[in-house]
């Protein structure tokens, strides 16, 4: 029985990766947040994502959400800006007093949750530092389409993929 078990693990991984590689087609990303600050940020992001055929919906139940967003207060002069994400469980934190565009910060952290790492191009939304005019690229849109209905194994595989790209 032990031999069978050892065979089953890589098999399950292959099936999982195969299923995950299927063309992603989700168009509605669900966000859970108890903070009213989420609404203007999502409204702004939705205007930006409309041309990509993507919509963000704020939901009332955490278990129905693809990502969960919490706003945190950052002390004045704190060099840590923008946001942070725990991609494995879909948690995002956004600094409330950030001078940057919070919609771009949310987009950046959502892309981490979709398995996208930092990019060297300073005009990319995935550049390490936040700033004006960060652009969303076609491969970012494809990655975002993986988020609707994402599961815990899906999150794991999304992070695994970052090692290969
Ligand atoms: Zn980042």
Residues 30/66, Cβ–Cβ less than 8 Å = yes
Say what percent of the chain tops pLDDT 90. 55
41 to 5, 95, 106, 152: CA distances (angstroms): 47, 12, 8, 26
Query: Averaging pLDDT over each range in 46-50, 95-99, 101-105, which range is the top one?
Result: 46-50
Report the helix count and the strand count for the chain, using DSSP H and E: 5, 5
Residues 110/147, Cβ–Cβ less than 8 Å = yes
Residues 33/70, Cβ–Cβ less than 8 Å = yes
58, 16, 23, 18: which is closest to 142 by C-alpha?
23
Integer Cα distance of 113 and 87 in angstroms: 4
Measured in Å, residue 81 CA sits from the centre of ligand 1 at 10
pLDDT at position 131? 76
Measured in Å, residue 43 CA sits from the centre of ligand 1 at 22
Percentage helix, strand, coil, to 5, in the chain?
40, 20, 40
162 or 11, which is more confident = 162
Measured in Å, residue 119 CA sits from the centre of ligand 1 at 9
Return mean pLDDT, the chain.
84
Measured in Å, residue 52 CA sits from the centre of ligand 1 at 22
Residue 164: pLDDT band with limits 50, 70, 90: low
DSSP string for residues in 37-64:
THHHHHHHHHHHHGGGT-EEEEES-GGG
Integer Cα distance of 162 and 165 in angstroms: 5
Integer Cα distance of 32 and 38 in angstroms: 9
Measured in Å, residue 6 CA sits from the centre of ligand 1 at 36
Integer Cα distance of 110 and 117 in angstroms: 11
Residues 147/100, Cβ–Cβ less than 8 Å = no
Measured in Å, residue 85 CA sits from the centre of ligand 1 at 8
pTM surpassing 0.85? no
pLDDT at position 19? 55
Residue 3: pLDDT band with limits 50, 70, 90: low
């Amino acid at each position: 029985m032990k031999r069978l078990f050892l065979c089953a693990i890589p098999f399950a991984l292959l099936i999982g990766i195969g299923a995950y590689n299927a063309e992603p087609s989700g168009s509605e990303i669900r966000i859970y947040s108890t903070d009213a600050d989420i609404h203007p940020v999502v409204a702004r992001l939705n205007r930006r994502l409309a041309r990509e055929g993507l919509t963000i919906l704020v939901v009332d139940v955490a278990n129905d959400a693809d990502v969960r967003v919490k706003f945190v207060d950052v002390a004045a002069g704190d060099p840590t800006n923008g946001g942070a994400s725990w991609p494995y469980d879909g948690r995002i934190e956004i600094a409330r007093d950030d001078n940057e565009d919070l919609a771009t910060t949310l987009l950046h952290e959502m892309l981490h949750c979709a398995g996208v790492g930092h990019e060297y191009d300073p005009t990319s939304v995935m550049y390490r530092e936040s700033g004006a005019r960060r652009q969303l690229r076609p491969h970012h849109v494809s990655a975002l389409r993986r988020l609707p209905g994402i599961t815990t194994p899906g999150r794991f595989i999304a992070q695994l993929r970052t090692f290969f790209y």
